[in-house]
Structure 1
């Protein structure tokens, strides 16, 4: 196409899952739901399509499906007469077929969408460098592809599958598009590794993604690399997201604020702690700096900390009666089971803590 005949990328988003009955050993879970939800809030005007041969199940899919158009499909078993046996290779072929036919944006389900690509061109294919480590690029990542329908670059790439060889695991999905681009094939915009593939998939980078917090504000989306990070992903729960300030968890929390009714979103539980004024040391109510007020789950883990500041404590101390009552709305997935109140004095020195249980 040339001139006014050039197609533009449509407002469509594509996800693929369930091309094998066992989902490749990585069943639809909370991170896959969050991939869809993050796409929903980042691209509110786009229709989201989810393609599967074997439908996912469970609470995460039950919630995610509210926001998508489901498209039952048949996984490719061959391409140009070459057998396609691995589920990942079937997904590689299917995403190209979908984008050539429909155009739009393709995301892997182990993705977190961070910000829209509104500043990138809509009349060419957009991809990012695939980083095998922090310092080496092995090709172009197909975890994210944006393209207009019928994109010549995608057609040329797909044509390269005529000599598909499954023994080179990423030969056609990652290396081939990179080779085409480096050879001067037109119609593709290549973004840096920071755009769609940061943090990377080496051990240190995965630790930064799932166990530390690093700056990903330069990224349009991040890839979770589930084929090598499943030990991290399988351990992600709503409780873990709420407790640990990791790169992924901070992004997940921001998404969940838009979906307060999701099964991963905390609820607000009204609670009341009544303390016997006579049991408190005088220093605890004589113009204290603050009181530590925390709430715990069945295992004793802290689920929320909602301290009492000097102003609230002054109001409590001025109230008549023998009780000091602290009321809170505790954000947690389940009602808190116990509490800790740890007073300080006016010099911010810790006094003896008080602990108690909530009635079940």
Structure 2
């Protein structure tokens, strides 16, 4: 990211809208609720000052507190170097959130519709693995096609891009 620039997406991020208008900024991240900047979506030019400074901070990385370097530290740095980063509100990349209520809104109900303002949806795969939410994610393509939930409606348009050899046995891989 530092040397070549580019767009980083976590594997559980779905893109709804092109990032073209964000490519004019040196570095872009989005707010993660009220706790910091989420690193599930990062857009950077090569050698952007923000990413260079952020990487320098990894000399103090503590793997027992990954959230500090991934979410909180970029937030603190953004306050210190506001000219080095373009910050988008939480609804641009990370809404609805990982709360049980928001996960149910996406995966159980049919009451949420993504807006034109929203670039991505972060599916919060780690949160879906929690004991109280593990049954929310669809277990098959048939469920996505036939069950009316906010998530299913949002991703149906992408099903046509699945490879011809895609089958139900590799749906959750």
> Shared fold by TM > 0.5?
yes
Q: Select the structure with the greater relative contact order (CA < 8 A; seq sep ≥ 6).
A: 2
CA shift, 1:121, in A, is: 4.0
Matches of 1:245 and 1:151, distance apart in 2: 42
2:19 partner SS = coil
Return the alpha-carbon distance in structure 1 between the equivalents of residues 105 and 3 of structure 2: 37
CA 262–241 in structure 1, closer or farther in 2 if over 3 Å, else same: farther
- Partner of 1:190 in structure 2? 87
C-alpha displacement of 1:257: 3.1
Residue aligning to 1:309 = none
**C-alpha distance in 2 between matches for 1:107 and 1:215:** 22
- Mark the structure with the bigger radius of gyration: 1
Deviations 1:206-249 (A, max 9, x none): 11111123021231000011111131466431111011121221
Per-residue deviation at 1:260?
7.7
Q: 2:164 — aligned with what?
A: 261
Q: Residues 122 and 147 of structure 1 are in contact (CA less than 8 Å); yes or no, is this contact kept in structure 2?
A: no
Tell me which of 143, 155, 162 is aligned to 1:240: 143
After superposition, give the CA deviation of every residue in 1:124-182 in whole Å (9 maximum; x if it has no partner): 11110012xxxxx1110100001111111001011111211223230001100110001
Q: Distance in 2 between matches of 1:248 and 1:215?
A: 9
TM-score (norm 2): 0.85
SS at structure 2 position matched to 1:186: helix
- Residue 220 in 1 paired to residue 119 in 2? yes
| TM alignment of 1:7-86, pairs within 5 A | none
Q: 1:202 to 1:114 in 2, by over 3 A?
A: same
**Distance change >3 Å, CA 198–CA 264, structure 1 → 2:** farther
Question: Where does the alignment leave 5 or more consecutive residues of structure 2 unmatched?
Answer: 169-173
Q: Distance in 2 between matches of 1:162 and 1:185?
A: 22
Q: Is the 8 A contact 2:107 2:137 kept in 1?
A: no
- Scaled by the length of structure 1, the TM-score of the pair is 0.42
CA contact (8 A) 2:25 2:85 kept: no
User: Residues of 2 paired with 1:101 and 1:207: CA distance?
Assistant: 40
Contact in 2 for aligned 1:142/1:174 (Cα 8 Å) = yes
Matched residues, number: 162
1:143 aligns with 2:46: no
Q: Which has the higher helix share?
A: 2
1:266-294: CA deviation from partner (whole Å, max 9, x where unpaired): xxxxxxxxxxxxxxxxxxxxxxxxxxxxx
Q: Does the residue aligned with 2:113 lie in a helix, a strand or coil? A: coil
* Equivalent runs, 1:70-219 vs 2, <5 Å: 99-131=1-33, 137-213=34-110, 214-217=112-115, 218-219=117-118
User: Helix, strand or coil: the match of 2:87?
Assistant: strand
Paired residues of 1:130 and 1:141 also in contact (CA < 8 A): yes
